[in-house]
Amino acid sequence: MSLTIQDLERLQEKLQESDLDYQLELQDGNIVVMEPSDIESSEIGAEFIRLLGNWVKPHRLGRVFDSSGGFIMSNTDLRALDVSFVSALRLRKTVRDFAKLVPDLVVEIKSKSDRIRPLEEKIQLFLTLGARVGRLIDPDQLTCTVYRPSSESVVLADEDKLTIPELFPGWEISISQLWPPVFE
């Protein structure tokens, strides 16, 4: 039985009525319950959003979303990413619903329970459906892998500079800026 976004929305309503709050995705007609992230991955996501948002907002380039933002894809999946960006030209006004588009930038952050292959496959799916750039941040290896639709992936680490000139001209950060500080 293949489920629809309407089925997922009905399930979410029933769960909310019972004071249950789960993040759900619809993948190939199946509902997938997403588990919470570990706090290190969450902090990395928050920092990436802050660093990116501090550039995007004053330059009015578009909208940055966290892991709660759902996107309805052309294959009818409803998916969420750890961090995503949609250009101002493609989303002039935020809607109070799931976005019916593929983000320009897709970012996944490996949590302690994630396996790399499914994250890579998710990024590749978004790229196939129209995303312009993908990033996979791996706190275990202290790396950020860059994916583009028409080129090989590139692994960045340490003081390598992360740039996304096709979306954010002039913006750059060192990969090391993503990692949580150690307070002594």
Work out the average pLDDT over 68-75.
88
Q: Say if CB 121 and CB 23 are below 8 A apart.
A: no
Q: Which of 145, 141, 132 is nearest to 105 (CA)?
A: 132
Q: Say if CB 107 and CB 135 are below 8 A apart.
A: yes
Give residue-wise pLDDT tens across range 14-54. Answer: 766 776 666 666 677 777 766 777 899 999 999 999 999 99
CA 64 to chain centre: 9
pTM: 0.86
Q: Which pLDDT does position 113 carry in this prediction?
A: 86
How does residue 73 score in pLDDT terms, banded at 50, 70 and 90?
Answer: confident
User: Which tops the pLDDT comparison, 5 or 38?
Assistant: 38
Work out the average pLDDT over 125-136.
96
Q: Which of 95, 119, 118 is nearest to 107 (CA)?
A: 119
pLDDT at 163 over 90: yes
**Integer Rg of the chain from CA:** 17
What is the rounded CA–CA span in Å between residue 23 and residue 112? 18
Give residue-wise pLDDT tens across range 82-116. Answer: 999 999 999 999 989 999 999 999 999 999 988 99
